[in-house]
Structure 1
Amino acid sequence: MSPFTRVAGRRAAALLGAMSAVVATWTVAAPAATADDMRSRQWYLDAMKADELWKVATGKGITVAVIDSGVDSTLPELRGKVLPGRNFETGGLGRVDDKDTDRHGTNMALAIAGSGADGGVKGIAPSATILPVKTGANSNAGWGPTYKGIRYAVDNGARVINISRAGPALTEETADWQATVDYARKKGALIFAGAGNDGSGGAVYPASIPGVVAVGAVDNKGKVAKFSNHGSYLALAAPGVEMPGRCTQDKTQFCALSGTSHSTAIASGAAALIWSAHPDWTANQVLRVMMETAGHNGPVPSKYIGYGTIRPAQVLLEGKGNPGDPNVNPLLAAQGVSNSPTSQASKPSQTSPSPENTGASGNGQAKDNNQAAEPDEGGFPLWAIAASAVAVVALIGFGVVAGVRRRASTDA
């Protein structure tokens, strides 16, 4: 095992402050993974009853914007699924290219909508369309490109906005963030953002902005991941530990990655899945059923998992969850925040762009007590059904990188 340190420094008054990360790595020489090998490592798909879910919905017709470092559309799992997008790291001039050297945005896209082709990663919503919006992995441009990227995304058909990034909450940025989030809500979009990977209780942007759905991480036993930030702003939790993805240094290799980045992507994909089955629902209704059917065994909301761990099977297979008032955001209502930015406009257009016409390249049944209220408490074994498969991720089938990417300046 060869440890290394990646440091992303920044002035405190800049975008996210000086942050650092330590990631342990190891690699095992082995043949390329087969499709069956990869699926065995995607423990969360079996836990969420993905094969049964996909008989009901696959995310078709829903565009998910990945606000991140870009997306490599040349990967087998993403071919024909990625729109041209826009590169706001370079001022919004030109489409997003395929040179996502950081591969963070690419891995989010895989977790959301990967097809699983050629033994690769399969996303929770494999027929969803990805709109890549590049805002920079280690940019000094501040949050400005992100504000522009979100507005661009909702103006171009994105119903779900995935922001797997987290940074310190700077008071002077609150107004800009709130205006951007309110704009997206008026356009009928849902914004999911990572809680961050410091294991702390401090608020972060954009997760703590009212109207954003903050997502924490749980492991394969349903326990809160120790790295997952906590606080009153947490809305939901999703799998975020030992998640297969493409390695940063070599995209032909697969790595085991952990972080609220992945849990955010899984939540975004689950929203796309539910929305594709109920295209007439508004963003508020999709969020409401996700909150109502989330699993928990402690106080609600919990500072560690919000309203609980997402369970799309409860909605799509069991028919649970009352969509309720289309014009009331359930999260804001619960927080006592005005719902005024949302109106009938929260029902987006049924038309969603597709890559083809734009030239772009569980076994276990979820229960009510599937999540711990405290990080060290036992959780429901919803995720444990695939524990044996997870245990061998680092030993069989492909090169592995393990550890939490705690560059909170760019990754959630």
Structure 2
Amino acid sequence: MSTIAIPAEKKPPRWLAVWLAALVALTPFSIDSYLPAIPAMAAALDTEVARVQHSVSSFLLGFAIGQLCGGPLSDRWGRRLVGTIGLSIFIATSVLVLFADHVDQLIILRFFQAIGGGFATVISSAIVRDLHSGREAAKIISMISTMMLVAPLIAPVIGSVLLATGGWQSIFIFLLLYATAMLVLVRWLLPETVSRFSRARRQRKPLRSLIDSYGQVVGNRRALGFLAAQAFVSGSMFIYITTAPFVFMQVFEVPANQFPIYFGLCVLGLICMVQVNIRLLNLFEPRNILLAGILLQMLGCGLLLLGTLTGVRELALWMAPLVLVMACIGITGPNAAACFLEFFPRISGSANAIYGATIFITGGILGGIVNNLHTGTLIPVAGAMLGCTVAALFFAVVVARAHEPIEAEVPVTKRFIPR
């Protein structure tokens, strides 16, 4: 990719991290805001709740596909164009969902809505990598993560209020308006970080070059080690999310109206740890912080399993290590992403697509497997979470060799191409 040094008077926009966080938040808003409305949607569509829940699965699949396709296309066509295409698809399908009168229509429309969402959000980390590297990239990703994590906290509340006041369709009207605001953001505020020369050169290449860019990512063993490490770390989070209702409301008999409090404590811990990570990056390299985060998470998972095997039934004794486990993702996530993307300065869009899609798919599979291993106890949950951290440590140390310095295959200077 052709690169241009950033002139002193043309630094990246001051509010860039906020704008990118708002764009990435489209995904948790799209999933979490309509979960409270699923029973009402099932009644309205004259079907079972379980059938409507397939629209969640179709969204997850579509989102992964959208990232895999949108990433290399953003390297080829530019970040803003791909983001515009994705948001246009998202807006159009949101309108069609309002008129859906059969659950199969809902499932299909959510799939295509997610493809648009994947196109739109995959450009965020790619823009960060276009402009920054190393510690600076990890700091920016951490700030984006902090702001983006507000969305899962407020999305269910927004969905419940909209459901009570305007019915389930009002939730998709909200998503439509939010996506429209993001379209304005992409078109007029976000910078294009892929030069015209690079776009023209890439567009002259055959479409097979899109597949070749994925081949470059898959062929980098160390980079895949960082990806696998974070995929298993995130797997512990997906296991928690999948089994949280059973853990809190059945095992510990937490009332349904108090469930969001305990669920939100982990998110708050995650937000706090992201802030700690930003400060640690002033002193340590991302790869070293990543290793420390995995070890700390392993400690938390070990305490969870120990408490489960010894028959501990005190909710506070379960919550303390659980919050630690979830909070550690605030350390591992930004640093794993920065280390992984460091290897691909010229194809950051494709690399970010594989990164996001792999974590989404792996986490979903792990959460589903543990959910199917239901024994009525917490042993499968705690045991699987500990197993995830052990696997993460193996990939970080043995495959990624996180204890060794990282050198990008092709040196690259920072760039910023104004509109």
TM bin (shorter chain): under 0.3
Higher relative contact order (CA 8 A, sep 6+): 2
- Normalising to structure 1: TM-score of the pair? 0.26
| Greater fraction strand | 1
| Greater fraction helix | 2
Larger radius of gyration: 2
